[in-house]
Amino acid sequence: MRKPATYLSGGLTREKEGIQLQEAFNRVLRITAAIVASLFICAAVVEWARNAYAPFNGFVNYAGIPRLRAFLYLMAMFNILLIRYIVMRIYIAPGANDFETIVKRLSRAGIASMLVSGLPCLYGLLLFLLAGDPVDFYLLFGLSAIYGMIYFPRYKSWVSLAEENANRE
């Protein structure tokens, strides 16, 4: 009787490596779910503040809000470059190229990309709490959602990257 094997996209690998990759991927998915939940918690905070302090005009009357707003919007736009930089630095980090290291790098890159994807939402929450304009929050919340969709961890890409790195050895 044959042992069940884990087929990755193109070749047969050891069952242990397939299970290890799947477990790491599931851990990253749980962390990603927590990050996505935090975005919706921020939205709940915005709606609570709008209702509890109606009309909500922000907690600070600061003349430099327009400059801060422009800066945070630019930071939100540059987050996509930051994500790509962080992920590439994780992938090309010095060290061994064994399977465990590859899985750790994939996990770190997945978590880091999702964390940085959520930063625009935090920028929006900060602007909302300072200035009181919900449009700032929802625009940056939408940008975080778009970044999250782009960089959401996908098992097929993990498998192909793990196989690609395994074939280099």
Q: What pLDDT does residue 167 have?
A: 67
pLDDT tens by residue, 93-132: 887 778 888 899 999 999 999 999 999 999 999 999 999 8
d(CA 19, CA 86): 27
CA distances for 160 relative to 39, 130, 145, 147, angstroms: 30, 45, 25, 22
pLDDT tens by residue, 6-61: 445 444 456 888 899 999 999 999 999 999 999 999 999 999 999 998 888 888 88
Q: What pLDDT does residue 162 have?
A: 82
d(CA 18, CA 14): 7
Specify whether the CB–CB gap between 135 and 69 falls below 8 A.
Answer: no
Q: What pLDDT does residue 1 have?
A: 45
Q: What pLDDT does residue 11 have?
A: 46
Nearest alpha carbon to residue 125 among 142, 138, 144? 138
